[in-house]
Amino acid sequence: MKEVLKLKTGEKVIIRHIVESDIDGVWNNFNEVVEEGIYLPVLFPVKSRFEKQSWYNNLQKDKEICIVAVHPNLKNPCNILGQCEVSSLDWDAATHVGSLGIIVQKKYRDLGIGFHLIDMAIRESKKLNGKEKIILSCFSNNERALNLYMKMGFKVIGKREKQFYMDSQYFDEILMELWIDDYILNQP
Ligand SMILES: CC(C)(COP(=O)(O)OP(=O)(O)OC[C@H]1O[C@@H](n2cnc3c(N)ncnc32)[C@H](O)[C@@H]1OP(=O)(O)O)[C@@H](O)C(=O)NCCC(=O)NCCS
């Protein structure tokens, strides 16, 4: 599956499945968000080539979904504007559930890329992996992300208070979920 998105800046962005040459771009985006220090409960950037490649190899082995947003006129690895991954849970009895994570490069936020990444990741998770429900978690002060998730139909199903402690500050974790059939019904 592949989609072309026209941003309000006039730029075109391709939304598609990840390929091996996207690895560095994806990890650069991840490390940028780690450096921002307010969105993910991760303290250290990933620098190791082995770790980056192993992540990709496992993704392929487990046939997990990773959708990327690609700028056709930018050079690799800057061309990867964002990514959305849906991973399987560890439980044998929860193969119908996918766990979603998403990142968009700082410069390209609020342009609709996040919406389109999540949309394709949800649909492909059902089509290719038989997922029925998507779960995610988010810091309670991440208003942009929460706004986007709720707009797409995710429901808040719980809160873990002071779940994370970073930079001398506690963060509550909001837990959300979405049934894919409901999503497809509401956003055909
Ligand atoms: C969260 C994230 C993935 C969203 O991607 P994006 O491309 O910026 O999302 P979109 O442009 O599709 O949608 C963002 C929406 O939030 C809105 N928004 C932006 N800032 C907001 C704020 N402070 N409060 C409420 N809504 C806000 C935008 O207006 C937009 O809504 P609209 O389409 O109805 O106008 C991206 O901003 C990001 O990578 N953030 C840092 C990492 C992160 O938070 N990851 C998720 C961790 S749970």
For 26-51, the pLDDT digits (tens) are 999 999 999 999 999 999 999 999 99
The β-bridge relationship of strands 133-139 and 155-166 is: unpaired
Q: Quick one: pLDDT band at residue 187, thresholds 50, 70, 90?
A: confident
Any atom of ligand 1 within 6 Å of the Cβ of 115: yes
Q: What tokens were used for 90?
A: 């560890």
Any atom of ligand 1 within 6 Å of the Cβ of 17: no
pLDDT, the chain, mean? 97
- The torsion region of residue 5 among left (phi > 0), alpha (psi -120 to 50) and beta comes to beta
CA distance 54 to 48: 10
Q: Hey, what domains does the chain have and what are their CATH numbers?
A: 2-186 (3.40.630.30)
Any atom of ligand 1 within 6 Å of the Cβ of 104: yes
- Short-list 129, 1, 118, 4, CA closest to 59: 129
CA distance 153 to 135: 12
Any atom of ligand 1 within 6 Å of the Cβ of 111: yes
19: pLDDT strictly greater than 90 = yes
Determine what percent of the chain is predicted with pLDDT higher than 70. Answer: 99
Q: How far is the CA of 159 from the centre of ligand 1 (A)?
A: 20
Q: How far is the CA of 17 from the centre of ligand 1 (A)?
A: 21
The DSSP bridge partners found for residue 156 are 176
